[in-house]
Structure 1
Amino acid sequence: MTTLPKISLSKLRDDATRRDERQRLQMACQEYGFFYLVEHGIPGEQIAQAIEASRRFFALPQSVKERYGHAFQDVYPTAARGYSPLHGEMLHPEAGFDPKEVFDLGIENEGDRRPFSGRTRLPDEALAPGFARNLLALQATVLAGIVPQIGDALADLIGMEEAWFQRHFSTPTLGQRVIRYPARGGTCAKHTDHGFFTLLLQEELPLRSLQVWFRGRWMPVPSLPDSLVVNLGDLLQVLSDGRFKSTPHQVVHSGPTDRISLPFFIYPDIDARLTSRQGQQVSVVEMMLRNVESIWVTGSGAGRARELQ
């Protein structure tokens, strides 16, 4: 294999093609845990505007960016939102702290005091033109136009009852990240994602910075025009009783320019308690809090990083 499978969101929506496309999706989930999503419907201009606004934010003076760091966020846990500087996060203990900058946000629910909920302290339009506006607009497009279709298909393929996805994701929990990988050396250490699934929007750069662990080696994944990358998380692997793969991956960016990456980590309602077909039980809030502790407190890494040598 030289590239990931391609799944068409348009075909998943179409009654005439849905069945065959879901069979292809099932193969991709069982064999790779990663796939390209094509014909997804997100305007390229909307993605480009979010990337450019993010680039402008990261170009601000360090002292300005740090005013939006974890310590200034009014959510629990504070590490779930806001700015993290270069070498601020450790995804694998052997690799140490990653040379990347991050800004985290989520669904903006003022007054919601549950974990991973509430409002993000974001820079205003005068300080960071288009940053909050474009990222929240992109969030709305992703949540309305992509997440329900992919999520419902995945739930059906792992054998959940009808309307399972709608019931447990009617108020989803979202981790939306903006990442800057510096030129000639930005990295994100090997890890797995721990949610239901992840959508990755990225710049179409010629270098293949994203790498996926496949059949005992790291496989470079190019950024294809007009496509997103989707990968499965540890929660979906558990709920599928191991049939679907949460595949390790990493980023090694050696290009001459910075790389902006826009991942969306999709989780169920924070209060959900879920059971697989074979009886494995998961508390969403407990799982998410354990992962934050592993990254930010114990330094054990993200997802199943401890299993990756």
Structure 2
Amino acid sequence: MITLPKISLAKLAADATQRDERERLRLACEQYGFFYLVEHGIPKEQIAQAIDASRLFFALPQSTKERYGHASQDVYPTAARGYSPLNGEMLHPEAGFDPKEIFDLGIENEGDRRPFAGRTRLPDDALAPGFARSLLALQATVLTAVVPQIGTALADLIDMEQGWFQRHFSPPTLGQRVIRYPARGGTCAKHTDHGFFTLLLQEELPTRSLQVWFSGRWMPVPSLPDSLVVNLGDMLQTMSDDRFKSTPHQVVHSGPTDRISLPFFVYPDIDARLTSRQGHPISVVETMLRNVESIWVTGKGAGRARELQ
């Protein structure tokens, strides 16, 4: 079993002079591409409320949930928001469709007609008590208390100029996802995340469902109390000129109860065009649209999935 590094968000924010925690973060990014984030400031009760409300939503009749599917969403691409049923998404072509349920949302802005923006059609409180309310409250906390601090530290470590993160992530593009992995068989096939970084909030279950590819093996990553899991994405690997790792991972859930997972996929502003120190370019909108096509249209998988055997 791998023991991922623990990085304290509180120490990152307070470590402007000694920089010890940022050096620990650099090593974690270079060696693992994954780490636990502790002292992150998100109230435990807020996470629990979102998990409980999500479980109630997924317990609704299938016909009710499907009223909030991709076809009902007024965003582009439609696959960026709304409900997807079991066996609806393919993250690796060899594995086929994943036995998991999903609900996707993002930063809610009704007037924004750009790709991956706009407003999610969400069930109201009478139908799904607390679902929209708790998820949007959690989103607000993540966007204010966690994303800027982590992002600024990462930008500093890849030698970007002062203010780079604020300039290109104000606002960020956010993919917020709720996932239900069924008991004794829920999976998420091997893939990499294609964004900048991902924050994973999850239930503290004894089963080690999350697995990370490290040293030529799939290694289980246990849930630790009062921690988030952070992993780096392909965009950050490119922006670091491959110094930082976007590490393959998968979920194999064999536990006796369903597992609720709450990942936040963080990208730059959708209009951003970035260039690494060695001149590697990234168009955020083109990269994100290619990934959606690879998952939902061509079936080639997510991120660098087709490179993973």
Q: Secondary structure at the match of 1:99?
A: coil
**Partner of 1:184 in structure 2?**
184
- The separation in 2 between residues aligned to 1:77 and 1:219, in whole angstroms, is 34
- The separation in 2 between residues aligned to 1:15 and 1:299, in whole angstroms, is 44
**Partner of 1:258 in structure 2?**
258
- The separation in 2 between residues aligned to 1:265 and 1:233, in whole angstroms, is 9
**Partner of 1:141 in structure 2?**
141
Structure 1 residue 171, shift from structure 2 partner = 1.1
TM-superposition CA deviations, 1:271-302 (whole Å, max 9, x none)? 00000000000100000000000000000000
Q: Secondary structure at the match of 2:261?
A: strand
**Partner of 1:219 in structure 2?**
219
Map 1:67-216 to 2 at 5 A. 67-216=67-216
- The separation in 2 between residues aligned to 1:44 and 1:51, in whole angstroms, is 11
TM-superposition CA deviations, 1:236-295 (whole Å, max 9, x none)? 000000000000000000000000000000000000000000000010000000000000
Instruction: Tell me the TM-score normalised to structure 1 length.
Output: 0.99
Instruction: Tell me the TM-score normalised to structure 2 length.
Output: 0.99
Aligned pairs, number: 309
**Partner of 1:2 in structure 2?**
2
Between the two proteins, what is the percent identity of the paired residues? 87
- Verify the 8 A CA contact 1:12 1:18 in the aligned structure 2: no
Structure 1 residue 17, shift from structure 2 partner = 6.9
Structure 1 residue 111, shift from structure 2 partner = 1.2
- The separation in 1 between residues aligned to 2:302 and 2:137, in whole angstroms, is 28
Amino acid at match of 2:38: V
Structure 1 residue 2, shift from structure 2 partner = 3.0
- Verify the 8 A CA contact 1:11 1:17 in the aligned structure 2: no
Q: Secondary structure at the match of 1:189?
A: strand
Structure 1 residue 35, shift from structure 2 partner = 0.1
RMSD: 0.8
- The separation in 1 between residues aligned to 2:165 and 2:2, in whole angstroms, is 33
- Verify the 8 A CA contact 1:234 1:303 in the aligned structure 2: yes
TM-superposition CA deviations, 1:2-23 (whole Å, max 9, x none)? 3100000010011467600000
Q: Secondary structure at the match of 1:133?
A: helix
**Partner of 1:42 in structure 2?**
42
- Could you list the runs of 4 or more consecutive aligned residues of structure 1 that deviate by over 6 angstroms after TM superposition? none
- Verify the 8 A CA contact 1:196 1:235 in the aligned structure 2: yes
Amino acid at match of 1:246: S
- Verify the 8 A CA contact 2:15 2:22 in the aligned structure 1: no
- The separation in 1 between residues aligned to 2:170 and 2:288, in whole angstroms, is 18
Q: 1:91 to 1:143 in 2, by over 3 A?
A: same
